[in-house]
Amino acid sequence: MQHGELADVLRQNAVTQAREVIGQIMHGILSDDLKHAEVLGGGKTLWRNNFFAATRGLPVNEDVADKIWFYFEAQWNVKARNQGHTLTPKQWLDKVEVHEQRPPTEREIEDGWEHEVFSDEEHRRKYYN
């Protein structure tokens, strides 16, 4: 393999990897309304900084980041229209109620246990006889 051919293969590999990473980023954001609103609500500069951090070492530039940003904006408008509202991402974030995930309490764990059905005489006869 010649030097030029090797460079072409490496370049193509980098482009393929960039497409995969960008696809994962976009899917992760667009599949979650809260993340989508947070990205847009944070503004284009924050988006660029986070995008470049996530794609460090890949062949991307501001033009790529901006095009994805505009795509996110367009998708937000489509979602809003389909859901029957005209809220901006920041307005939507102000209205949305986020439930904090917390570990279950001991009481909830105890209440969640399922009791053995074999303690019932009828089931004991059914399964053990």
Give yes or no for a contact between 27 and 54, defined as CB atoms under 8 angstroms apart: no
Mean pLDDT is lowest, of 36-40, 58-62, 84-88, 102-106, for 102-106
Question: What tokens appear for 8 in the block?
Answer: 């072409």
Residue 20's pLDDT is 93
* pLDDT at residue number 116: 56
Does residue 2 have a pLDDT over 80? no
What integer pLDDT is reported at residue 51 of this predicted model?
Answer: 95
Distance, CA of 54 to CA of 47 (rounded, Å):
10
Q: Looking at the domain assignment, is residue 120 inside a domain? A: no
For the chain, the domain total comes to 1
Range of the domain at 22: 3-103
108 within some domain = no
Res 74: pLDDT:
97
SS3 34: helix
Higher pLDDT, 14 or 116: 14
Structural domain includes residue 66: yes
Residue pLDDT, tens place only, 65-118: 999 999 999 999 999 999 999 999 999 999 987 777 788 888 887 777 765 555
Residue 3 tokens read as 């030097």
CA distance 55 to 60: 7
pLDDT of residue 32: 94
At 91 the three-state DSSP class reads: helix
Task: Identify the CA nearest to 40 among candidates 88, 94, 84, 82.
Answer: 88
Q: Cα–Cα distances in Å, from 39 out to 30, 82, 84, 93, 113? A: 10, 20, 21, 11, 40
Q: Is residue 117 included in any domain, yes or no?
A: no
Model confidence at 24, pLDDT cuts 50, 70, 90, reads very high
Q: Is residue 109 part of a domain?
A: no
49 in any annotated domain: yes
Domain-embedded: residue 112? no
Answer whether residue 55 is part of any domain. Answer: yes
In angstroms, the CA 37 to CA 89 distance is 5
Position 39 scores a pLDDT of 96
